Structure 1
Amino acid sequence: MSTGSQATYFDEQLNYSLGDEDTSVELAALPDRARHVVAIAGSGGRVLPLLARSPGKLTCVDISSPQLALTELRLAALRALEHEEYTGFLGYPPRAMTPASREQCFRRLALSTPARSSLERLFEASGWAPIAYLGRFEKTMATLSRVNRLMTGQAGQRLFEATDLEAQRAYLASSFPHARFRMVLALLGNAAVLNSLLYKGEFPKKNLPGSAYGIYRGIFDRLFHQAPARESYFLQLIFFGQLRHAEGNPIECDPDVYARARRALEETEVSYVRGDVLEVVRQTGGTVDFLSLSDVPTFFKGPLEQDFLQRLRPGLAPDARVVTRGHLRVPRPDTSGFELLSPAFKEAMDMERTQLWQIQIYRAR
């Protein structure tokens, strides 16, 4: 969720190490063997799955050098580590990796000198802890999870004992502490709290109808009734502050996605660019046929929020697809010359594991 415009929040700290996006939607929207994919780097977890479509070129863009370093780390680990090593190295279940083993894995990775230096400092400062939980967002989720556990106790955590949706719905109907969890939602839906804990005053102003609390109630109602809670990494972060059930590992850990992405690395040209994603795309000369913008446009100010699609046009190939996300704020850009494809991917959006996002998919005509 790293923005392409300068903001106080997006400074030179690691903001996202796991993230809050399920890239399965972008993966569904990305055609096989696209010529040039440009994606906001974020934690790298939103980029790696795109390699499974074997693009000719993948450009990872971010204004944050720590986010680019972490993206480089993920792709270097993809190249060097077997699937089980990769998940343990990052800190995902089921395999727990010791700090010493994690350091040994790190030493095996081919990284640029700046990325290696930055990441080594981060790892050493944490005692070679799992990097998936070292971002500012993930630390905020850990704080919220402690509050959640205080409020909902064991009754809240027992939600994750259900191994199928029928059992989970029965537990929700009979024993889940709904009233206490609504207090957690009130905290989560408080923009002032999130500004203080995470966004440093840069939380995008809500433009969706209804209260933030009401929106979050809808989000969690969908999550609770969509699939077993143990299959959602976001729900695990909210209740545990970390992932405990491998069924909920993000899509970068899917064995098939991992294998296909790893094969693609043999041919895909990958680059890392620190800068404004709009300018990066505009300077490609019209070669970009897939652009994954995350929620960057929600941080745009003034006319740019309405004009960003038009500003991107010079860098987009015919029929290029542009994917944007919005949380409590959803941009309403000028779509002249673009077709909205989102309805064609409704099934993928309905199964997105965080349900935090309004996702728009545009095609340049």
Structure 2
Amino acid sequence: MPTPSSSTGAASGPPSSRRCEPPAMAQAYFRHLNYSLGDEDSSVELHALPADARHVVAVAGSGGRVVPLLARAPRKVTCVDISDTQLALTELRIAALRQLNHTEYLGLLGYEAMSIQRRLELLSSLPLSGSARTSLEPVRQAVQAGERIVYLGRFEGMLRTLSRIVGLFTGQRGRRMFEQPDVAGQRAWLDGGFPKGAWKLVLLLMGNSAVLNSLLYRGDFPKKNRPESAFRIYWDLFDRLFRTLPVRSSFFLQLVFFGELRYPEGYPIECDADVFLAAQRAARTADIIYVRGDIIQHVQEQRDVDFVSLSDVPSFLPPERERDFLNAMKPGLAPEALVVTRGHLRVASPEVQGYEVVSGRYEDAIAKERTQLWRIHFYQRRS
């Protein structure tokens, strides 16, 4: 179900950007606005990123996975993506972060209610580059038509379609999970009132690669390499969510069951007031760069990177590059730099010479991640 995120950045004043040739993995899928909200809970990366890092390189996605990293006040952030549209959306988010207050930020993106006219005014007021404004013209038109930015991506559209299927199969008995007072109540409802048979049919559908290709990937579905069946993977991850986290706290579950965000406690971490304010302070002074191209190649060309947030990019690499991506990035990493990867149905197993696998340090943060879609791994460059 998930797909790789995209990235971009901006420095104070006009955004700094760099274009390079698209990498081999630039399949047709990535030419569009695939994410406007995203499918990652960036609290894991926020927890792991040391304060005052020198240079962070991140896949941008919608920009929502980059904003929380700024809360740690890194001195430089390079946001890399192969999609001009995703880079432009990240530029929009960072411009909004710098210029708007918290309420305006949530309203512009569509997390909270705001008039169409006010959204258009705020959108027009942001200091975006010409290329970003051109790329975002369809977004402006969608806002003018009454759409909310956070629901415009192909992934979010797929989840909205899926929510109608979930509603058709599980009805109000499925949604009553969100009415339970606590996790204990969720467990009781799951064991006594939840429509498990109907839910099983939904998960069988979600585990069908042909359906996922049709709804989202357009033929670019990464080949599964985890030994469990897709059905078992989805059954287990939703069972963890239902039994261990308040379901209202998961934006992913809200999208699956309602097709929209109804409970503020489940908004992504970029919406948290404290995270927003810390990120805003840092964004106004940090050197933030936008790069269109291959994130692995970009890191390889650096010399001082001490944190890399790769999302699930390795899952979409050819087999040889999938095995070698850590080695390829090594010249650009500072000693003890951290590399964070995610994998869903396909999980990369790279060669780790010159690295220590340190995922165990972050197992508590990983266990609390609010989508449970991901196998998350941390690699630390040896001194």
Taking structure 1 as the reference length, the TM-score comes to 0.97
- What letter matches 1:209 in structure 2? P
Measured after TM superposition, the shift of residue 164 of structure 1 is 1.6
Q: How does 1:126-165 map to 2 (within 5 A)?
A: 127-165=145-183
Q: How does 1:94-243 map to 2 (within 5 A)?
A: 95-125=112-142, 127-243=145-261
Measured after TM superposition, the shift of residue 91 of structure 1 is 1.5
- What letter matches 2:106 in structure 1? T
Provide the residue aligned with 1:263 in structure 2.
Answer: 281
Provide the residue aligned with 1:89 in structure 2.
Answer: 108
1:31 equivalent to 2:50? Answer yes
Q: Mean alpha-carbon deviation: is it higher for 156-165 or for 264-273?
A: 156-165
User: In 1, Cα distance between the equivalents of 2:110 and 2:186?
Assistant: 26
Q: Contact 2:307 / 2:337 at 8 angstroms: preserved in 1?
A: yes
- What letter matches 1:189 in structure 2? G
4+ residue runs of structure 1 moved beyond 3 angstroms?
Answer: none
Aligned-pair identity in percent equals 57
Q: Deviation per CA, 1:92-114: give whole Å up to 9, x if none.
A: 1xx31121111111122111111
User: In 2, Cα distance between the equivalents of 1:302 and 1:155?
Assistant: 44
User: In 2, Cα distance between the equivalents of 1:192 and 1:135?
Assistant: 20
Q: Contact 1:103 / 1:128 at 8 angstroms: preserved in 2?
A: no
User: In 1, Cα distance between the equivalents of 2:275 and 2:248?
Assistant: 20
Q: Contact 1:44 / 1:70 at 8 angstroms: preserved in 2?
A: yes
Q: Aligned match of 1:246 in 243, 261, 264?
A: 264
Measured after TM superposition, the shift of residue 2 of structure 1 is 3.4
User: In 2, Cα distance between the equivalents of 1:124 and 1:172?
Assistant: 42
User: In 2, Cα distance between the equivalents of 1:42 and 1:128?
Assistant: 23
SS at match of 1:270: strand
Measured after TM superposition, the shift of residue 335 of structure 1 is 0.1
User: In 2, Cα distance between the equivalents of 1:14 and 1:39?
Assistant: 18
SS at match of 2:122: helix
Q: Aligned match of 1:72 in 79, 88, 91?
A: 91
Measured after TM superposition, the shift of residue 72 of structure 1 is 0.6
SS at match of 1:9: helix
- What letter matches 2:316 in structure 1? F
SS at match of 1:193: helix
Matched positions, count: 361
User: In 1, Cα distance between the equivalents of 2:119 and 2:181?
Assistant: 31
User: In 1, Cα distance between the equivalents of 2:341 and 2:299?
Assistant: 15
Q: Mean alpha-carbon deviation: is it higher for 345-354 or for 168-177?
A: 168-177
CA RMSD in angstroms, aligned pairs only: 1.2
User: In 2, Cα distance between the equivalents of 1:132 and 1:96?
Assistant: 12
Mark the runs of 5 or more structure 2 residues left unpaired by the alignment.
Answer: 7-22
1:359 equivalent to 2:362? Answer no
Measured after TM superposition, the shift of residue 342 of structure 1 is 0.4
Q: Contact 1:102 / 1:128 at 8 angstroms: preserved in 2?
A: no
User: In 1, Cα distance between the equivalents of 2:322 and 2:133?
Assistant: 35
User: In 2, Cα distance between the equivalents of 1:210 and 1:107?
Assistant: 48
1:333 equivalent to 2:341? Answer no
User: In 1, Cα distance between the equivalents of 2:45 and 2:54?
Assistant: 16
Measured after TM superposition, the shift of residue 174 of structure 1 is 2.0
User: In 1, Cα distance between the equivalents of 2:146 and 2:353?
Assistant: 49
Q: Contact 1:2 / 1:64 at 8 angstroms: preserved in 2?
A: no
Measured after TM superposition, the shift of residue 79 of structure 1 is 1.0
SS at match of 2:74: coil
Q: Contact 2:160 / 2:256 at 8 angstroms: preserved in 1?
A: yes
SS at match of 1:76: helix
User: In 2, Cα distance between the equivalents of 1:301 and 1:359?
Assistant: 20
Measured after TM superposition, the shift of residue 212 of structure 1 is 0.3
Q: Contact 2:5 / 2:38 at 8 angstroms: preserved in 1?
A: no
1:2 equivalent to 2:22? Answer no
Mark the runs of 5 or more structure 1 residues left unpaired by the alignment.
Answer: none
- What letter matches 1:38 in structure 2? V
SS at match of 1:54: coil
Q: Deviation per CA, 1:116-175: give whole Å up to 9, x if none.
A: 222133221451421100000000101000010011111111111123212222222221
Q: Aligned match of 1:293 in 307, 310, 319?
A: 310
User: In 2, Cα distance between the equivalents of 1:274 and 1:163?
Assistant: 46
Taking structure 2 as the reference length, the TM-score comes to 0.92
Q: Aligned match of 2:332 in 315, 331, 335?
A: 315
- What letter matches 2:123 in structure 1? F
